[in-house]
Amino acid sequence: MLKRRTHEFLELSIPGDRFGFVFDRFMMVLILLNVAAIVMETVPSIHAAYQDFFFNFEVFSVAIFTVEYILRVWSSTEDKANNYSHPVIGRIKYIFSPMAIIDLIAFIPFYLSTFFAIDLRLLRIFRLLRLLKLTRYSPALIIIWAVIRNQSRALTAAIFIMLIALLFTSSIIFLFENEVQPEVFASVPHSMWWSLATLTTVGYGDVVPITVGGKIFGAITMILAIGMLALPTGVIATGFANEIRKHEFIVTWRLIAKVPLFSNLDAAQIADIAGLLIPLVVPPRHAVVRLGEQAESMFFIISGEVEVEIMPKPVKLREGDFFGEMGILRNSVRMADVVSLSDCQLLELTKENFHELIVNHPDIGNQVQSVMESRMADMSDITTEPIQEDT
Protein backbone atom coordinates (compact mmCIF):
# COMPACT_ATOMS: atom_id res chain seq x y z
CA MET A 1 0.00 0.00 0.00
CA LEU A 2 2.79 2.42 0.96
CA LYS A 3 4.76 1.53 -2.16
CA ARG A 4 1.75 2.09 -4.43
CA ARG A 5 0.98 5.42 -2.78
CA THR A 6 4.63 6.47 -3.18
CA HIS A 7 4.54 5.54 -6.87
CA GLU A 8 1.31 7.46 -7.43
CA PHE A 9 2.68 10.45 -5.51
CA LEU A 10 5.95 10.62 -7.48
CA GLU A 11 5.02 9.38 -10.93
CA LEU A 12 1.33 10.13 -11.47
CA SER A 13 -0.46 13.46 -11.56
CA ILE A 14 -3.68 12.65 -9.70
CA PRO A 15 -6.30 15.41 -9.98
CA GLY A 16 -7.07 16.92 -6.59
CA ASP A 17 -3.86 15.65 -4.95
CA ARG A 18 -2.72 18.86 -3.27
CA PHE A 19 0.37 17.26 -1.69
CA GLY A 20 1.47 16.05 -5.12
CA PHE A 21 0.87 19.51 -6.57
CA VAL A 22 2.92 21.17 -3.80
CA PHE A 23 5.72 18.62 -4.24
CA ASP A 24 5.90 19.21 -7.99
CA ARG A 25 6.10 22.97 -7.50
CA PHE A 26 8.72 22.57 -4.77
CA MET A 27 10.91 20.44 -7.05
CA MET A 28 10.57 22.93 -9.91
CA VAL A 29 11.63 25.81 -7.63
CA LEU A 30 14.51 23.76 -6.21
CA ILE A 31 15.81 22.90 -9.71
CA LEU A 32 15.61 26.52 -10.85
CA LEU A 33 17.38 27.72 -7.69
CA ASN A 34 20.11 25.17 -8.33
CA VAL A 35 20.64 26.51 -11.82
CA ALA A 36 20.72 30.08 -10.48
CA ALA A 37 23.28 29.05 -7.86
CA ILE A 38 25.47 27.40 -10.48
CA VAL A 39 25.41 30.56 -12.58
CA MET A 40 26.12 32.87 -9.63
CA GLU A 41 29.04 30.70 -8.50
CA THR A 42 30.90 31.69 -11.64
CA VAL A 43 31.10 35.29 -10.35
CA PRO A 44 34.32 35.29 -8.27
CA SER A 45 33.22 37.96 -5.78
CA ILE A 46 29.86 36.28 -5.09
CA HIS A 47 31.43 32.84 -4.82
CA ALA A 48 34.01 34.10 -2.33
CA ALA A 49 31.38 35.83 -0.17
CA TYR A 50 28.82 33.00 -0.14
CA GLN A 51 30.96 29.91 -0.64
CA ASP A 52 29.63 28.17 2.48
CA PHE A 53 26.03 28.94 1.55
CA PHE A 54 26.48 27.52 -1.95
CA PHE A 55 28.04 24.35 -0.53
CA ASN A 56 25.30 23.84 2.06
CA PHE A 57 22.60 24.45 -0.53
CA GLU A 58 24.29 21.91 -2.81
CA VAL A 59 24.33 19.32 -0.03
CA PHE A 60 20.64 19.99 0.72
CA SER A 61 19.68 19.69 -2.96
CA VAL A 62 21.68 16.50 -3.47
CA ALA A 63 20.03 14.98 -0.40
CA ILE A 64 16.56 15.76 -1.79
CA PHE A 65 17.43 14.45 -5.26
CA THR A 66 18.98 11.29 -3.80
CA VAL A 67 15.99 10.45 -1.61
CA GLU A 68 13.63 11.14 -4.50
CA TYR A 69 15.64 8.83 -6.80
CA ILE A 70 15.76 6.00 -4.23
CA LEU A 71 12.00 6.25 -3.66
CA ARG A 72 11.34 6.22 -7.41
CA VAL A 73 13.47 3.09 -7.87
CA TRP A 74 11.89 1.41 -4.85
CA SER A 75 8.30 2.11 -5.97
CA SER A 76 8.92 1.48 -9.69
CA THR A 77 7.65 -2.12 -9.36
CA GLU A 78 4.14 -0.65 -9.06
CA ASP A 79 4.41 0.59 -12.66
CA LYS A 80 2.64 -2.23 -14.49
CA ALA A 81 2.21 -0.22 -17.71
CA ASN A 82 5.97 -0.22 -18.40
CA ASN A 83 6.47 -3.80 -17.18
CA TYR A 84 8.58 -2.87 -14.16
CA SER A 85 6.73 -5.23 -11.80
CA HIS A 86 9.61 -7.72 -11.33
CA PRO A 87 11.44 -6.81 -8.08
CA VAL A 88 14.92 -7.05 -9.67
CA ILE A 89 14.64 -6.94 -13.46
CA GLY A 90 11.89 -4.34 -13.28
CA ARG A 91 13.99 -2.00 -11.18
CA ILE A 92 17.01 -2.49 -13.47
CA LYS A 93 14.85 -1.61 -16.48
CA TYR A 94 13.60 1.48 -14.66
CA ILE A 95 17.15 2.57 -13.72
CA PHE A 96 18.12 2.56 -17.39
CA SER A 97 15.00 4.43 -18.53
CA PRO A 98 15.67 7.96 -19.89
CA MET A 99 13.98 9.84 -17.04
CA ALA A 100 15.73 7.74 -14.37
CA ILE A 101 19.09 8.45 -16.00
CA ILE A 102 18.29 12.18 -15.90
CA ASP A 103 17.42 11.86 -12.19
CA LEU A 104 20.73 10.09 -11.56
CA ILE A 105 22.75 12.71 -13.44
CA ALA A 106 21.21 15.38 -11.20
CA PHE A 107 23.13 14.23 -8.12
CA ILE A 108 25.78 11.61 -9.05
CA PRO A 109 28.47 14.21 -9.99
CA PHE A 110 28.47 15.41 -6.37
CA TYR A 111 29.35 11.94 -5.11
CA LEU A 112 31.92 11.38 -7.86
CA SER A 113 33.66 14.64 -6.99
CA THR A 114 33.94 13.42 -3.40
CA PHE A 115 35.99 10.38 -4.37
CA PHE A 116 37.63 11.48 -7.62
CA ALA A 117 39.43 14.62 -8.77
CA ILE A 118 37.06 16.19 -11.31
CA ASP A 119 37.49 19.51 -13.08
CA LEU A 120 35.04 21.92 -11.44
CA ARG A 121 34.09 23.35 -14.83
CA LEU A 122 33.08 19.87 -16.01
CA LEU A 123 31.21 19.29 -12.76
CA ARG A 124 29.32 22.56 -13.23
CA ILE A 125 28.18 21.48 -16.69
CA PHE A 126 26.82 18.21 -15.31
CA ARG A 127 25.01 20.09 -12.55
CA LEU A 128 23.34 22.25 -15.19
CA LEU A 129 21.77 19.06 -16.54
CA ARG A 130 19.42 19.26 -13.55
CA LEU A 131 17.32 21.45 -15.79
CA LEU A 132 16.31 18.27 -17.60
CA LYS A 133 14.49 17.17 -14.45
CA LEU A 134 11.94 19.88 -15.16
CA THR A 135 10.52 17.58 -17.83
CA ARG A 136 8.98 15.59 -14.96
CA TYR A 137 7.15 18.55 -13.48
CA SER A 138 6.48 21.05 -16.29
CA PRO A 139 3.54 20.28 -18.64
CA ALA A 140 5.12 22.49 -21.32
CA LEU A 141 8.38 20.53 -21.26
CA ILE A 142 6.44 17.27 -21.23
CA ILE A 143 4.75 18.33 -24.46
CA ILE A 144 8.12 19.27 -26.00
CA TRP A 145 9.55 15.87 -25.08
CA ALA A 146 6.50 14.13 -26.52
CA VAL A 147 6.79 16.09 -29.77
CA ILE A 148 10.46 15.17 -30.18
CA ARG A 149 9.73 11.51 -29.41
CA ASN A 150 6.71 11.24 -31.72
CA GLN A 151 8.34 13.16 -34.57
CA SER A 152 11.75 11.51 -34.22
CA ARG A 153 11.58 9.80 -37.62
CA ALA A 154 10.56 12.94 -39.46
CA LEU A 155 13.17 14.99 -37.63
CA THR A 156 15.83 12.38 -38.40
CA ALA A 157 14.91 12.51 -42.08
CA ALA A 158 15.06 16.33 -42.09
CA ILE A 159 18.44 16.35 -40.35
CA PHE A 160 19.75 13.74 -42.82
CA ILE A 161 18.69 15.93 -45.75
CA MET A 162 20.41 18.92 -44.16
CA LEU A 163 23.61 16.91 -43.71
CA ILE A 164 23.52 15.97 -47.39
CA ALA A 165 23.06 19.65 -48.26
CA LEU A 166 25.96 20.54 -45.96
CA LEU A 167 28.26 18.04 -47.66
CA PHE A 168 27.15 19.07 -51.15
CA THR A 169 27.49 22.84 -50.63
CA SER A 170 30.83 22.58 -48.86
CA SER A 171 32.21 20.45 -51.70
CA ILE A 172 31.05 22.89 -54.40
CA ILE A 173 32.31 26.00 -52.61
CA PHE A 174 35.65 24.25 -52.09
CA LEU A 175 36.00 23.85 -55.86
CA PHE A 176 35.25 27.55 -56.42
CA GLU A 177 37.31 29.07 -53.60
CA ASN A 178 40.20 26.73 -52.82
CA GLU A 179 42.67 28.24 -55.27
CA VAL A 180 42.06 31.88 -54.32
CA GLN A 181 41.53 31.31 -50.58
CA PRO A 182 43.62 28.22 -49.70
CA GLU A 183 43.79 29.09 -46.00
CA VAL A 184 40.04 29.51 -45.49
CA PHE A 185 38.79 26.85 -47.91
CA ALA A 186 41.72 24.47 -47.40
CA SER A 187 39.55 21.35 -47.64
CA VAL A 188 35.94 20.21 -47.73
CA PRO A 189 35.81 19.92 -43.90
CA HIS A 190 37.19 23.48 -43.65
CA SER A 191 34.50 24.64 -46.09
CA MET A 192 31.75 23.14 -43.97
CA TRP A 193 31.97 26.10 -41.57
CA TRP A 194 30.88 28.47 -44.36
CA SER A 195 28.19 26.02 -45.51
CA LEU A 196 26.80 25.60 -42.01
CA ALA A 197 26.68 29.36 -41.37
CA THR A 198 24.97 29.92 -44.73
CA LEU A 199 22.47 27.01 -44.57
CA THR A 200 21.35 28.04 -41.11
CA THR A 201 20.97 31.67 -42.33
CA VAL A 202 23.30 32.84 -39.53
CA GLY A 203 25.81 34.35 -41.95
CA TYR A 204 28.67 35.35 -39.64
CA GLY A 205 30.54 36.92 -42.56
CA ASP A 206 33.94 35.77 -41.29
CA VAL A 207 34.30 33.43 -44.30
CA VAL A 208 32.94 34.67 -47.64
CA PRO A 209 33.40 33.67 -51.27
CA ILE A 210 35.26 36.16 -53.51
CA THR A 211 35.10 34.46 -56.92
CA VAL A 212 32.18 35.08 -59.28
CA GLY A 213 31.23 31.42 -59.29
CA GLY A 214 31.49 31.25 -55.52
CA LYS A 215 29.27 34.29 -55.06
CA ILE A 216 26.63 32.94 -57.45
CA PHE A 217 26.67 29.56 -55.74
CA GLY A 218 26.54 31.33 -52.35
CA ALA A 219 23.41 33.20 -53.43
CA ILE A 220 21.79 29.94 -54.55
CA THR A 221 22.73 28.33 -51.23
CA MET A 222 21.11 31.20 -49.31
CA ILE A 223 17.85 30.74 -51.21
CA LEU A 224 17.92 26.98 -50.66
CA ALA A 225 18.64 27.54 -46.96
CA ILE A 226 15.22 29.13 -46.44
CA GLY A 227 13.54 25.96 -47.62
CA MET A 228 15.94 23.76 -45.66
CA LEU A 229 15.11 25.46 -42.38
CA ALA A 230 11.41 25.04 -43.08
CA LEU A 231 11.75 21.23 -42.95
CA PRO A 232 12.45 20.73 -39.21
CA THR A 233 10.38 23.81 -38.34
CA GLY A 234 7.36 22.38 -40.13
CA VAL A 235 7.84 18.96 -38.53
CA ILE A 236 8.03 20.45 -35.02
CA ALA A 237 5.08 22.81 -35.61
CA THR A 238 2.94 19.91 -36.85
CA GLY A 239 4.02 17.82 -33.89
CA PHE A 240 3.07 20.57 -31.44
CA ALA A 241 -0.35 21.01 -33.05
CA ASN A 242 -1.03 17.25 -32.93
CA GLU A 243 0.19 16.93 -29.34
CA ILE A 244 -1.92 19.85 -28.11
CA ARG A 245 -5.01 18.47 -29.86
CA LYS A 246 -4.32 15.07 -28.35
CA HIS A 247 -3.86 16.59 -24.88
CA GLU A 248 -7.06 18.60 -25.13
CA PHE A 249 -8.97 15.55 -26.35
CA ILE A 250 -7.64 13.36 -23.52
CA VAL A 251 -8.55 15.99 -20.92
CA THR A 252 -12.04 16.38 -22.38
CA TRP A 253 -12.40 12.59 -22.64
CA ARG A 254 -11.60 12.21 -18.94
CA LEU A 255 -14.10 14.89 -18.04
CA ILE A 256 -16.85 13.38 -20.17
CA ALA A 257 -16.15 9.87 -18.86
CA LYS A 258 -16.92 11.10 -15.32
CA VAL A 259 -20.52 11.82 -16.34
CA PRO A 260 -22.62 8.64 -15.88
CA LEU A 261 -24.88 9.80 -18.70
CA PHE A 262 -21.99 9.38 -21.17
CA SER A 263 -20.18 6.45 -19.54
CA ASN A 264 -21.41 3.86 -22.05
CA LEU A 265 -20.44 5.78 -25.18
CA ASP A 266 -17.67 4.55 -27.45
CA ALA A 267 -14.64 6.55 -28.61
CA ALA A 268 -16.29 7.93 -31.75
CA GLN A 269 -19.35 9.10 -29.84
CA ILE A 270 -17.30 10.78 -27.11
CA ALA A 271 -15.25 12.49 -29.83
CA ASP A 272 -18.49 13.91 -31.27
CA ILE A 273 -19.76 15.07 -27.89
CA ALA A 274 -16.41 16.61 -26.92
CA GLY A 275 -16.92 19.28 -29.55
CA LEU A 276 -20.27 20.25 -28.05
CA LEU A 277 -19.31 20.63 -24.38
CA ILE A 278 -17.61 23.70 -22.90
CA PRO A 279 -15.36 23.17 -19.82
CA LEU A 280 -16.16 25.63 -17.04
CA VAL A 281 -14.57 26.22 -13.61
CA VAL A 282 -16.47 28.19 -10.97
CA PRO A 283 -15.42 29.28 -7.43
CA PRO A 284 -17.45 28.65 -4.27
CA ARG A 285 -20.69 30.63 -3.79
CA HIS A 286 -20.98 31.38 -7.49
CA ALA A 287 -24.48 31.54 -8.95
CA VAL A 288 -24.27 29.25 -11.96
CA VAL A 289 -28.01 29.59 -12.63
CA ARG A 290 -30.18 32.52 -11.53
CA LEU A 291 -33.88 32.58 -10.80
CA GLY A 292 -35.94 34.05 -13.66
CA GLU A 293 -33.22 33.84 -16.34
CA GLN A 294 -34.05 32.37 -19.71
CA ALA A 295 -32.62 28.86 -19.93
CA GLU A 296 -29.87 28.82 -22.54
CA SER A 297 -27.82 25.80 -21.40
CA MET A 298 -27.55 22.85 -19.02
CA PHE A 299 -24.56 21.79 -16.91
CA PHE A 300 -22.82 18.54 -15.95
CA ILE A 301 -20.89 18.36 -12.65
CA ILE A 302 -17.40 16.90 -13.03
CA SER A 303 -16.22 17.74 -9.50
CA GLY A 304 -17.51 19.77 -6.60
CA GLU A 305 -20.99 20.33 -5.23
CA VAL A 306 -23.83 22.74 -6.03
CA GLU A 307 -27.08 23.57 -4.29
CA VAL A 308 -30.40 24.08 -6.00
CA GLU A 309 -32.17 26.64 -3.81
CA ILE A 310 -35.69 25.22 -3.91
CA MET A 311 -37.86 26.17 -0.96
CA PRO A 312 -38.54 24.87 1.56
CA LYS A 313 -35.77 22.24 1.16
CA PRO A 314 -32.72 23.00 -1.05
CA VAL A 315 -31.29 20.12 -3.10
CA LYS A 316 -27.58 19.32 -3.32
CA LEU A 317 -26.08 17.91 -6.51
CA ARG A 318 -22.64 16.31 -6.73
CA GLU A 319 -20.15 14.80 -9.18
CA GLY A 320 -21.94 13.01 -12.01
CA ASP A 321 -25.21 14.95 -11.65
CA PHE A 322 -26.54 17.52 -14.11
CA PHE A 323 -28.92 20.45 -13.86
CA GLY A 324 -30.64 23.02 -16.05
CA GLU A 325 -32.27 20.46 -18.34
CA MET A 326 -35.88 21.47 -17.62
CA GLY A 327 -35.59 24.95 -19.04
CA ILE A 328 -34.10 23.61 -22.27
CA LEU A 329 -36.66 20.85 -22.71
CA ARG A 330 -39.59 23.11 -21.79
CA ASN A 331 -38.16 26.34 -23.24
CA SER A 332 -38.86 28.15 -19.97
CA VAL A 333 -37.07 30.36 -17.46
CA ARG A 334 -35.14 29.18 -14.42
CA MET A 335 -37.23 28.46 -11.34
CA ALA A 336 -34.41 28.60 -8.78
CA ASP A 337 -30.86 29.72 -8.16
CA VAL A 338 -28.13 27.07 -8.45
CA VAL A 339 -25.09 28.06 -6.37
CA SER A 340 -21.73 26.29 -6.12
CA LEU A 341 -20.81 25.14 -2.61
CA SER A 342 -17.14 24.52 -3.50
CA ASP A 343 -14.76 24.86 -6.42
CA CYS A 344 -16.56 23.13 -9.26
CA GLN A 345 -15.59 21.75 -12.65
CA LEU A 346 -18.56 21.82 -14.98
CA LEU A 347 -19.30 21.00 -18.59
CA GLU A 348 -21.75 23.40 -20.21
CA LEU A 349 -24.04 22.29 -23.02
CA THR A 350 -25.91 25.06 -24.85
CA LYS A 351 -29.52 24.70 -25.96
CA GLU A 352 -28.59 24.39 -29.63
CA ASN A 353 -25.94 21.77 -28.93
CA PHE A 354 -28.32 19.89 -26.63
CA HIS A 355 -30.87 19.50 -29.40
CA GLU A 356 -28.10 18.37 -31.75
CA LEU A 357 -26.97 15.85 -29.13
CA ILE A 358 -30.37 14.24 -28.62
CA VAL A 359 -30.91 14.03 -32.39
CA ASN A 360 -27.66 12.10 -32.79
CA HIS A 361 -28.06 10.14 -29.53
CA PRO A 362 -31.78 9.61 -28.76
CA ASP A 363 -30.98 7.37 -25.78
CA ILE A 364 -29.31 10.27 -24.00
CA GLY A 365 -32.31 12.48 -24.69
CA ASN A 366 -34.62 9.83 -23.22
CA GLN A 367 -32.49 9.57 -20.07
CA VAL A 368 -32.47 13.35 -19.61
CA GLN A 369 -36.25 13.41 -20.12
CA SER A 370 -36.68 10.66 -17.55
CA VAL A 371 -34.56 12.50 -14.96
CA MET A 372 -36.50 15.72 -15.60
CA GLU A 373 -39.85 13.97 -15.05
CA SER A 374 -38.55 12.37 -11.85
CA ARG A 375 -37.39 15.73 -10.53
CA MET A 376 -40.67 17.38 -11.38
CA ALA A 377 -42.49 14.66 -9.46
CA ASP A 378 -40.23 15.16 -6.46
CA MET A 379 -40.76 18.91 -6.57
CA SER A 380 -44.53 18.42 -6.69
CA ASP A 381 -44.27 16.49 -3.44
CA ILE A 382 -42.24 19.28 -1.79
CA THR A 383 -44.43 22.22 -2.76
CA THR A 384 -48.06 22.59 -3.68
CA GLU A 385 -47.35 25.55 -5.95
CA PRO A 386 -47.49 24.86 -9.72
CA ILE A 387 -44.07 24.39 -11.39
CA GLN A 388 -43.53 27.07 -13.97
CA GLU A 389 -39.79 27.44 -14.13
CA ASP A 390 -36.64 25.33 -14.46
CA THR A 391 -33.76 24.36 -12.26
- pLDDT band, very low/low/confident/very high, at 145 (cuts 50, 70, 90): confident
CA atoms within 13 A on the CB side of 35: 12
Structurally, what CATH architecture does the domain formed by 2-137 represent? Up-down Bundle (1.20)
pLDDT tens digits, residue range 199-234? 988 888 889 999 999 999 999 999 988 888 888 888
Contact assessment for residue 324 and residue 333, using Cβ atoms and an 8 Å cutoff: no
Q: Distance between CA 86 and CA 212 in Å, rounded?
A: 68
Q: What is the mean pLDDT of the chain?
A: 82
Residue 391 has a pLDDT of 47
What's the average model confidence in pLDDT over 57-82? Answer: 89
Q: What is the CATH number of domain 152-246?
A: 1.10.287.70
Domains of the chain by residue range: 2-137, 152-246, 278-382
Residue 305 has a pLDDT of 92
Residue 214 has a pLDDT of 93
Q: Distance between CA 69 and CA 110 in Å, rounded?
A: 14
pLDDT above 90 covers what percent of the chain? 24
Q: Distance between CA 99 and CA 378 in Å, rounded?
A: 55
Q: Which residues of 154-188 are buried (b: 16+ CB within 10 A; e: fewer)?
A: bbeebeeebeebbeebbebbbebbbeebeebbeeb
Residue with the bigger pLDDT between 113 and 300: it is 300
- pLDDT band, very low/low/confident/very high, at 246 (cuts 50, 70, 90): low
Q: Distance between CA 311 and CA 335 in Å, rounded?
A: 11
- pLDDT band, very low/low/confident/very high, at 21 (cuts 50, 70, 90): confident
Structurally, what CATH architecture does the domain formed by 278-382 represent? Sandwich (2.60)
Q: Report the range of poorest mean pLDDT among 52-66, 225-239, 280-294, 375-389.
A: 375-389
Q: Distance between CA 289 and CA 340 in Å, rounded?
A: 10
pLDDT tens digits, residue range 151-167? 888 888 888 988 999 99
Q: For the beta carbon of residue 101, count every other beta carbon within 10 angstroms.
A: 13
Q: Which residues of 250-286 are buried (b: 16+ CB within 10 A; e: fewer)?
A: eebbebbebbebbeebeeeebeebbebbeeeebeeee
Q: Report the range of poorest mean pLDDT among 41-55, 179-193, 266-280, 310-324.
A: 266-280
Burial class (CB in 10 A: 0-12, 13-18, 19+), 153: exposed
Contact assessment for residue 160 and residue 177, using Cβ atoms and an 8 Å cutoff: no
